Amino acid sequence: MTHRIVPAPSRLWLAHGVLACVVAVTATGWLPGWAIVVSLVAILRAHLLTMAAVILAIVLPRLLWPPTTLPHGAIEGRVVTLSTAPTSGQFGWWALGTLDDVPVFLELPDDEAEIADSVLVTGIVTDDVATFAGRPRQVVRVEELVIASHGRSIYGSAGASIRRHVAQRVSGGREGRALLAGFLVGDTSGVSDLTIEAMKKAGLSHFVAVSGSNVALFLGLVAIVSLPLGIGPRRRAVAGLAALPVFVVATGFEPSVLRASAMAALVLAGRAMDMTIEFWQVVALATIGLLALDPWLVRSVGFQLSLVATCGVLVGSRLSLAAGWLRRALMATVGAQVAVAPLLLWHFGSIPLFSPLANLIAAPLVTLATALAISGVVGPDLLLVPAEWIATVIIEIANTAASWPQVGWLGVITAALAAGAGIRLRHRSPRGVALVAAVFVAFVVLPRTEVLEAGEVAFLDVGQGDAILLAGGDGLYALVDGGRDPVLLLERLEHHGVRHVALVVVTHGDADHAGGLAGITGRIGIGEIWEHGDPHEMAASRRFLADASNLGIPIVVPHPGHTVRLGELVIEVLGPTRRYASPNDQSIVLLVTGPVRSMLLTGDIEQVAQSELSDISVNVLKVPHHGAGTSDRDWLLSTGAEEAVISVGANEFGHPVPWVVAALESAGSTVRRTDLDGTVIIDLGT
């Protein structure tokens, strides 16, 4: 006979779970202490005793063992246990770990180490703090790292070897194959930022954040492996329990895995003890347990989304128990989407409106690809081929669905009002309902693009770097540089409704000019490319040019005097006039002449190249090199520009330097900056 493990009703457990989250949020200093009192009053019907236990479980450990910090300064040969694999970030390799039981963020010299490794670290404990998954961590700058041992525990080494094995088997293929590692162990290191961003926008990124279904698949594998042993269901549950930590390590302790594994562990424990636990009890106990171990989890967006989506799936599928499978599946995904919507709005400012549809199409494909990939990783390599095809289709779905409408706060509020109006009007005036729906679609759902007029030039706000969009009219565009970030560049181009550019100019190869361009080939049509030529090619421009030439896009090294007409605008090349020692001086310099006004685009040229570009007088000056002090004061003023634009973002170089801004302003120029004004639009037609 089976027993109910805890007799309290489901809604009480739900209340306990919510309370645990409130307490954890308070314990990590997000909300003031009175939040606990308010929530206690709000959940008055819950058992006082259990609530007190919840509070004590989360708060007491914080009081007894307050978080310690490491003293700043140099360290030598100290043992750090890595809790993630080294990951490539914007400023190099990094990993998370613990040093003397203090969670740290490690800036690494290379990727030599693996998850769960114990390493000896020499470097500096800085006073910087990096917040990761909601938790502040001290930053340790690692100068030298020696691996002491691979995965101290059996779980550590088993998990790391699974992760290594998967990475090895899926390496060397195209992006679809790399995505399989995401489905299997949440490792997306081989997947491009653009694809990850597309999956996020389409509402599909949870497929690469390993969670419930993957835990179920893993436990299924364990059950299959233990079948020949001839053990009964209770012992199989024990075997599953024993194997679970391996999966947690293999997937890099992702918050969504912790949540799913804790829930699975409870179900398995119940089965091993011949007890049943109701779903809400499982959710609440797992939440309370995890937050008691680590209250910071509550601030991890991954944990929040995973928890809330799980509840949404359950509510959605409970509401449609009697329906057919398709409707049940749709209700489950709609339930998850509705549940996570407030969180997505809070954290990211928008929600993908048709994400349930994208999920409904993608989910069976992900399951199939994952199953084939598991077979391919465990067995014959051949099975990875169809898995890769399916993953490629999923990437296509993500790319398509990413351009479907997103709605922000305004959209959600309007939708709620429209739905309310629609319900009230539905009997009296069906036409009224249609009208309300049409107005909603027109004003909120359809993405608002800000199409540039002929003769307008937009200095796109892409952070530190240059990306300048020239509109000649009739859909004719030129793009001068692309900033550092391909995702941001694509977003900006999309905002201005640009799908094709007649000309892309790479002024020079620096990452803050060419880095963003590396992602647009194949996504934005390109007519022709101008580049500055040798000898200053760099990784960022090389990749863009290689991709472009593979697509058959003509690449030209233009010489001074080269002139093209772009609708209302005429673009003339003024420099570089010769080979320069400095890559910045090698920047392509353009004179853009509109119907009324002219503009000088200067890349990052410095004093040497400036001195060889004399007697230029224009209405608008793009201040060279993000307003750095590398310009010649007299040359800047000699252009006589009435408007000066500085394309700049947060940076550690001190751009723009105050004297450049002051000199231009004292000479009567209006200085506009993309870091202060956002995208700056200049009209050369008025």
Instruction: Single out the segment in contact with Zn ion by CB under 5 A; choices: 98-106, 153-161, 240-248, 508-516.
Output: 508-516
The answer to whether 399 and 198 have CB atoms below 8 angstroms apart is yes
Q: How far is the CB of 479 from Zn ion (least distance, A)?
A: 16
Instruction: Single out the segment in contact with Zn ion by CB under 5 A; choices: 23-31, 200-208, 452-460, 510-518.
Output: 510-518
Cβ-based neighbour number of residue 3 at 10 Å: 11
Q: How far is the CB of 626 from Zn ion (least distance, A)?
A: 6
Residue number with CB closer to Zn ion (214 or 630): 630
Helix locations, 468-576, DSSP H: 486-495, 511-514, 539-550
Residue number with CB closer to Zn ion (200 or 625): 625
Q: How far is the CB of 492 from Zn ion (least distance, A)?
A: 17
Tell me: does residue 606 bind Zn ion (CB under 5 A): no
Q: How far is the CB of 632 from Zn ion (least distance, A)?
A: 17
Q: How far is the CB of 173 from Zn ion (least distance, A)?
A: 35
Instruction: Single out the segment in contact with Zn ion by CB under 5 A; choices: 322-330, 485-493, 535-543, 601-609.
Output: 601-609
Task: Report which of 203, 165, 199 is spatially closest to residue 184, judged by C-alpha positions.
Answer: 165
Residue number with CB closer to Zn ion (302 or 576): 576
Q: How far is the CB of 194 from Zn ion (least distance, A)?
A: 22
- The answer to whether the bond into 658 is cis (omega within 30° of 0) is no
Residues present in the chain in total? 686
Tokens standing for 92? 């190099």
Q: How far is the CB of 604 from Zn ion (least distance, A)?
A: 4
Residue number with CB closer to Zn ion (604 or 606): 604
Instruction: Single out the segment in contact with Zn ion by CB under 5 A; choices: 66-74, 352-360, 407-415, 512-520.
Output: 512-520
What is the CA angle 593-594-596, rounded to 5?
A: 115
Q: How far is the CB of 559 from Zn ion (least distance, A)?
A: 23
Residue number with CB closer to Zn ion (114 or 604): 604
Q: How far is the CB of 655 from Zn ion (least distance, A)?
A: 9
Instruction: Single out the segment in contact with Zn ion by CB under 5 A; choices: 208-216, 239-247, 507-515, 549-557.
Output: 507-515
Which 3-state string (H, E, C) describes 549-592?
Answer: HHCCCCEECCCCCCEEEECCEEEEEEECCCCCCCCCCCCCEEEE
Which residues make Cβ contacts (< 8 Å) with residue 629, sequence separation at least 6? Answer: 657, 659, 660
Instruction: Single out the segment in contact with Zn ion by CB under 5 A; choices: 282-290, 365-373, 593-601, 602-610.
Output: 602-610
Task: Report which of 135, 136, 185 is spatially closest to residue 291, judged by C-alpha positions.
Answer: 135
Instruction: Single out the segment in contact with Zn ion by CB under 5 A; choices: 13-21, 258-266, 486-494, 503-511.
Output: 503-511
Instruction: Single out the segment in contact with Zn ion by CB under 5 A; choices: 10-18, 341-349, 474-482, 599-607.
Output: 599-607
Residues in 35-64 at the binding interface with Zn ion, rule: CB under 5 A: none
Residue number with CB closer to Zn ion (294 or 512): 512
Instruction: Single out the segment in contact with Zn ion by CB under 5 A; choices: 94-102, 288-296, 526-534, 597-605.
Output: 597-605
Residue number with CB closer to Zn ion (114 or 512): 512
Measure the CA–CA gap between 371 and 357, rounded to whole angstroms.
Answer: 22
The per-residue b/e assignment along 242-278, b for 16 or more CB within 10 angstroms, e otherwise, is: ebbbbbbbbbbbbbbbbbbbbbbbbbbbbbbeeeebb
Per-residue mark of binding to Zn ion, 564-593 (x: CB under 5 A): ------------------------------
Residue number with CB closer to Zn ion (254 or 512): 512
Residue number with CB closer to Zn ion (59 or 628): 628
DSSP string over 31-52: S-THHHHHHHHHTTTS-HHHHH
The answer to whether 145 and 234 have CB atoms below 8 angstroms apart is no
Instruction: Single out the segment in contact with Zn ion by CB under 5 A; choices: 44-52, 356-364, 493-501, 504-512.
Output: 504-512
Measure the CA–CA gap between 616 and 635, rounded to whole angstroms.
Answer: 9
DSSP 467: -
Tokens standing for 595? 């119907």
Site size toward Zn ion, by CB under 5 A: 3
Residue number with CB closer to Zn ion (187 or 510): 510
> Could you say which of 187, 604, 606, 675 contacts Zn ion (CB under 5 A)?
604
CA separation (Å) from 197 to 194, 202, 331, 344, 477? 5, 9, 25, 14, 25
Residues in 249-308 at the binding interface with Zn ion, rule: CB under 5 A: none
Measure the CA–CA gap between 195 and 546, rounded to whole angstroms.
Answer: 19
The burial of 579, by beta-carbon neighbours within 10 Å (0-12 exposed, 13-18 middle, 19 or more buried), is given as exposed
405 Ramachandran zone, left/alpha/beta (phi>0; psi -120 to 50): beta
Strand positions, DSSP E, 317-356: 351-352
Beta sheet of 569-575, edge-to-edge order: 563-566, 569-575, 589-593, 598-601, 620-622, 643-646, 670-673
Residue number with CB closer to Zn ion (50 or 602): 602
Measure the CA–CA gap between 447 and 404, rounded to whole angstroms.
Answer: 8
Q: How far is the CB of 469 from Zn ion (least distance, A)?
A: 17
Which residues make Cβ contacts (< 8 Å) with residue 236, sequence separation at least 6? Answer: 222, 223, 226
Residue number with CB closer to Zn ion (159 or 509): 509
Q: How far is the CB of 40 from Zn ion (least distance, A)?
A: 55
Q: How far is the CB of 384 from Zn ion (least distance, A)?
A: 42
Q: How far is the CB of 588 from Zn ion (least distance, A)?
A: 13
> Could you say which of 187, 512, 531, 585 contacts Zn ion (CB under 5 A)?
512
Q: How far is the CB of 512 from Zn ion (least distance, A)?
A: 4
Residue number with CB closer to Zn ion (604 or 643): 604
The answer to whether 134 and 299 have CB atoms below 8 angstroms apart is yes
Residue number with CB closer to Zn ion (170 or 467): 467
The answer to whether 62 and 86 have CB atoms below 8 angstroms apart is no
Q: How far is the CB of 556 from Zn ion (least distance, A)?
A: 22
Tokens standing for 249? 């390590």
Which residues make Cβ contacts (< 8 Å) with residue 671, sequence separation at least 6? Answer: 623, 644, 645, 646, 661, 664, 665
Q: How far is the CB of 79 from Zn ion (least distance, A)?
A: 41
Please count the CA atoms within 13 angstroms of the CA of 59 that sit on its side-chain side: 17
Q: How far is the CB of 468 from Zn ion (least distance, A)?
A: 12
Residue number with CB closer to Zn ion (252 or 486): 486
Cβ-based neighbour number of residue 368 at 10 Å: 15
Residue number with CB closer to Zn ion (197 or 481): 481
Instruction: Single out the segment in contact with Zn ion by CB under 5 A; choices: 58-66, 495-503, 505-513, 540-548.
Output: 505-513
Measure the CA–CA gap between 405 and 482, rounded to whole angstroms.
Answer: 25
Instruction: Single out the segment in contact with Zn ion by CB under 5 A; choices: 215-223, 224-232, 235-243, 600-608.
Output: 600-608
Tokens standing for 253? 């302790």
Residue number with CB closer to Zn ion (176 or 624): 624
Interaction site with Zn ion (CB under 5 A): 510, 512, 604
